[in-house]
Amino acid sequence: MNLSYDFNPSVTGETIPESVHEIETTPINVQKEKRNEKGNQENQSSFSFQTTVKESIPPKRRRRKPVKSCAFCRQRKLRCDQRKPICTTCFKRGRKECIYKNNVVEHPSSDSSSGNEILKRKISVLEQRLGITEKDEDGIEPKSKNVLRELNFSQIKENGRRTMFGPTAVRVFFLSERWGLTKKYSQLWAKVKTERKRIKSDTGYSMLHENMLIEEPYRELPPSTEAYTLLSEVQSSLPSYEAILRAIESFFGDDELFIINPAFDRLKVLNDFQESFVPGRISSATFERPICKLVGSSKKNYYKIAVILGIIMYTSRQYETAISYENFFVMLNGLSTGKTNYVERVQTTFLRYSFRVKWGLTGGDSPHTIMLVNSMVNEATLLGLNTNINQTFEGHETLYGNLTSLRKLWLWIMFCDFDSALQMGSLLKVPDDLVFDETVFAIENDVPKSLYKLMGSFLKIARPMLLSVYSKKVTPDLEQYCDDIISFIEQDFPPIEHYTNEKLISKTNLSSVMILSASISLLLAFYGLRFLALKEKTYYMKNALGTTTIMAFYLSINVIIENYNRDKKAFPESLENDVKYLSPYMCLAVSFLHRLIIRALSIFYTIFYYKLTLFENGLLVLGAEPRDTPIDMTSFRVPSFEKLSFMSVFDEFSIVFDRLARSSDKVFNSLVRRSNILITTFALEKLCHKVMDKVLESRKIAEETWMVQYQNDIGTLAANTASPPTANNTTNIISGTASPKGDNPDGVPSIAAGVENMADSIEDDFWISYNVNWDEFLNSVDDVEFYHELMKRD
């Protein structure tokens, strides 16, 4: 007894099951005869089909050689002796270990057609786009398929303070160990760190001032004075009633210098001021009235007072503030019950954030503002600013301000959230699900291309991009994102040459620079991720990084110089030698641009270091490519197949950055050194430049040695051959445009191989020379002198 299936051949020769029978009791010998007859029929009917299948079998694929060299040698096309844990080549370059891939090479089966492979790839791509992920038997999704999520950098201080930066943070790109620049930069920075701590201690300049408020002694008042409170301390530090009124009128009277004022209702602020600030008698010395009392509302809403203090600070021309103000803000920010859910609380936090951004007190990439952004978002959503404001707040304008000001306040909060998330590489605190009213991105009755039109349009395209960087399901299409950002810049802004050409910069609007700067920062962040995480090392990517960073420098420096010229006309007193703060327009310009400058600077030097330490394309410093190749400053769109001269880019950078850091205008040179954030930026540039000087020096020596040895080999080979190499062929090999293993039409088959071997040996000499020179340089640096050279202000 056995189980059997009955099959009939189809017309194509395939076998198709017709039915499954129950247990049979036919004798065994009868069953065998039936099976033999059936088998003969199947063989005869399918003969032609089998012949066709055999004829269509593709030829055997050639076995691919297993990868034996380490990742570093394979990427740079160096000889690798495969020693473990570290090969000789990597050991000479000071690397700690080698990374070897698994030698097992998977081969596709010979019976699978190319059509099936293509179909499988298409299905995989479609599944990624649809967000389909495979699950294991327990229904748990596998490890994230988005490689960007894995990029991060932790800043760890010796006292235990720690800050995490994510994919879009410039620190993640700049401090990646893949470049080799990090180690050299850190060694130099260690030289200045001790002296920097001493200077900060002597001057008292530190963002620790908020932490130190807890140790600040309270001022002693005469015995006859009423009970001493924090409110009375604030009141005693205030300017006169008239001076505060002038600050409020100035705040609402200049939309360009104080671009955040539309987020406040002027009539409401004036009304709150009159109710909360009680003036005393006119002073005989100043002929103005001092503030004699501060009055909170019946429900202790002291945030109305805080809004007025925030406006006083924001309109001031200095960043030092009264300690009592800081104590007052910290106290109000710490209140945690539902009794504090007022619109003035959101506005107070927004003013504190704007004050820090204005004076560059952000920590460079926003670690000093991220907490304020978190508070703003929580406070705003508790109020309902993320809903339809026209419906939620209609009829309550006397309590909250006019509806347009509330919509612009919410738009500002989302922009602050975006900016901090981009700089820190963190998630947006306002996800799409929290935005209940999409019309907020299009402010009604606003003129075309105004600040709020640009801000709304930018956030509408940029927020989804930033959110997708943290997707668990799929790596975002960064190439498409970059194209969309460039299209936005082309459509919503004046021609970019108006910003990159110093003769046309006066035609631009200063407020638009803030959105343009954010757009270019996002573009550079995505270019950096494509280069670092997605390993796009194409001509297009290198051209895009080089061109975009140079355009960012030109834009930033032209805008800063243009606003310096405006200050000379509008605020000449702010340029006097006895003033120690930035002039008003220049301060605003720097606040818009300093983060873009730092990002562009970090990316530029990182890519240039990477380029200088590669020898795969022949000569670079002494190469045949011209150093005066012009860079197109009229478009962010770059050629895909034309090689941009990196030495030309470096020369262009030196010219434009010197206009900012080493200007011949003594007044301007003195003015930019009043900005702590610019001084820090100049120090970053000088540190990187020191590293680059040593690399260039060693690279030049290596290439000169290469040239001499190469010319000697060419002469020897030419003397021993009937057909010496042509001048054109020689130039191509030297400049790296000839394939080292390609055919040689000139009849000298050993030249290309000789150049390849020579490149390996000269690169070895370069790294040995570079490491020795670097160690000698570090040992010769005096910590104190080097610090003052970096941070000097004159």
**781 vs 1, more confident:** 781
Amino acid at 445: N
Average pLDDT value for residue range 56-64: 56
CA atoms within 13 A on the CB side of 231: 15
Tell me which H or E stretch contains 381.
helix 370-383
pLDDT of residue 134: 45
Instruction: Check if the beta carbon of residue 387 is closer than 8 Å to that of residue 436.
Output: yes
- The answer on pLDDT for 63 being more than 70 is no
- Tokens at residue 200, please? 């900060």
Instruction: Check if the beta carbon of residue 466 is closer than 8 Å to that of residue 415.
Output: no
Compute the C-alpha angle 596/600/602, nearest 5°: 120
CA-CA distance, 315 to 248, in Å (whole number)? Answer: 8
pLDDT of residue 791: 65
Residue 240 lies in a domain: no
- Tokens at residue 722, please? 């009937």
Q: Are both 701 and 783 inside the same structural domain?
A: yes
Contacts (Cβ under 8 Å, ≥6 apart) of 275: 295, 304
How many other CB atoms sit within 10 Å of the CB of residue 48? 10
Q: Tell how strand 153-156 and strand 162-165 pair up.
A: antiparallel
Instruction: Check if the beta carbon of residue 548 is closer than 8 Å to that of residue 636.
Output: yes
Residue 686 lies in a domain: no
Residue 77 lies in a domain: yes
pLDDT of residue 715: 62
Average pLDDT value for residue range 538-552: 94
Residue 518 lies in a domain: no
Instruction: Check if the beta carbon of residue 767 is closer than 8 Å to that of residue 684.
Output: no
- The answer on pLDDT for 399 being more than 90 is yes
pLDDT of residue 624: 56
- Range of weakest confidence among 21-25, 281-285, 479-483: 21-25
pLDDT of residue 193: 72
Residue 332 lies in a domain: no
- Range of weakest confidence among 108-122, 207-221, 390-404: 108-122
- Domain of residue 40: give its range: 5-56
Average pLDDT value for residue range 651-655: 90
- Using 50, 70 and 90 to split pLDDT, how confident is the model at 45? very low
Tell me which H or E stretch contains 20.
strand 15-20
Specify the pTM: 0.79
Residue 595 lies in a domain: no
Amino acid at 710: Y
Instruction: Check if the beta carbon of residue 676 is closer than 8 Å to that of residue 682.
Output: no
Average pLDDT value for residue range 398-406: 96
- Using 50, 70 and 90 to split pLDDT, how confident is the model at 271? very high
Q: Tell me the per-residue pLDDT of 197-250, one tens digit each, with 9 for 90 and over.
A: 665 665 556 777 778 777 777 665 555 555 678 898 999 999 999 999 999 999
Q: Are both 86 and 14 inside the same structural domain?
A: no
**220 vs 392, more confident:** 392
- The answer on pLDDT for 163 being more than 60 is yes
CA-CA distance, 562 to 499, in Å (whole number)? Answer: 10
Residue length of the chain? 794
Tell me which H or E stretch contains 134.
none
Number of compact structural domains in the chain: 3
Task: Give the three-class secondary structure for 758.
Answer: helix
pLDDT of residue 67: 74
In sequence order, what are the beta bridge partners of 5? 20
- Using 50, 70 and 90 to split pLDDT, how confident is the model at 118? low
Residue 670 lies in a domain: no
- Using 50, 70 and 90 to split pLDDT, how confident is the model at 102? low
pLDDT of residue 727: 42
Q: Are both 17 and 99 inside the same structural domain?
A: no
Contacts (Cβ under 8 Å, ≥6 apart) of 122: none
How many other CB atoms sit within 10 Å of the CB of residue 569? 8
**722 vs 623, more confident:** 623
CA-CA distance, 618 to 611, in Å (whole number)? Answer: 11
CA-CA distance, 744 to 758, in Å (whole number)? Answer: 18
How many other CB atoms sit within 10 Å of the CB of residue 26? 11
Contacts (Cβ under 8 Å, ≥6 apart) of 99: 70, 71, 72
Task: Give the three-class secondary structure for 292.
Answer: strand
Nearest to 428 by CA among 338, 522, 494: 522
Amino acid at 285: A
Instruction: Check if the beta carbon of residue 620 is closer than 8 Å to that of residue 699.
Output: yes
In sequence order, what are the beta bridge partners of 9? 15
Looking up residue 72, the CATH number of its domain turns out to be 4.10.240.10
Average pLDDT value for residue range 711-722: 61
In sequence order, what are the beta bridge partners of 278? 293
- Ramachandran bin of 535, using left for φ above 0, alpha for ψ from -120 to 50, beta for the remaining angles: left
- The answer on pLDDT for 41 being more than 90 is no
- The answer on pLDDT for 748 being more than 50 is no
Average pLDDT value for residue range 618-642: 77
pLDDT of residue 415: 98
Q: Are both 52 and 84 inside the same structural domain?
A: no
Nearest to 276 by CA among 255, 304, 253: 304
Q: Are both 87 and 9 inside the same structural domain?
A: no
Nearest to 353 by CA among 429, 293, 299, 277: 429
Phi first, then psi: what are they for 589, rounded to 5°? Answer: -60, -45
- Tokens at residue 716, please? 């020897």
The alpha carbon of 310 is separated from its chain's Cα centroid by a whole number of angstroms, namely 30
pLDDT of residue 317: 93
Q: Are both 46 and 78 inside the same structural domain?
A: no
Q: How is the chain split among helix, strand and coil, in percent rounded to 5?
A: 60, 5, 40
**586 vs 10, more confident:** 586
Q: Are both 19 and 91 inside the same structural domain?
A: no
In sequence order, what are the beta bridge partners of 165? 153
End-to-end Cα separation, the chain, in angstroms: 104
Task: Give the three-class secondary structure for 413.
Answer: helix
Average pLDDT value for residue range 659-677: 89
Which pairs count as long-range contacts for 31-39, CB under 8 Å and 24+ apart, including other chains?
Answer: 31/4
Average pLDDT of the chain to the nearest whole number: 80
Q: Are both 12 and 97 inside the same structural domain?
A: no
Judge residue 135's burial from the number of C-beta atoms within 10 Å of its C-beta, 0-12 exposed, 13-18 middle, 19 or more buried. Answer: exposed
Judge residue 652's burial from the number of C-beta atoms within 10 Å of its C-beta, 0-12 exposed, 13-18 middle, 19 or more buried. Answer: buried
Burial 170-193 (b: 16+ CB within 10 A, else e): bbbbbbbeebbbeebbebbeebbe
Q: What is the DSSP string of 223-289?
A: TTSPPP-HHHHHHHH---HHHHHHHHHHHHH-TTTSTTGGGS-HHHHHHHHHHHEEE-PPPTTTSSP
Judge residue 722's burial from the number of C-beta atoms within 10 Å of its C-beta, 0-12 exposed, 13-18 middle, 19 or more buried. Answer: exposed
- Range of weakest confidence among 119-128, 185-194, 351-360, 654-663: 119-128
Q: Are both 696 and 736 inside the same structural domain?
A: yes
CA-CA distance, 313 to 12, in Å (whole number)? Answer: 86
Residue 768 lies in a domain: yes
Question: What angle separates helix 727-735 from helix 750-780, to the nearest 10 degrees?
Answer: 40
Q: Are both 95 and 47 inside the same structural domain?
A: no
CA-CA distance, 533 to 477, in Å (whole number)? Answer: 13
Q: Tell me the per-residue pLDDT of 412-466, one tens digit each, with 9 for 90 and over.
A: 999 999 999 999 999 999 999 999 988 889 876 666 678 999 999 999 999 999 9
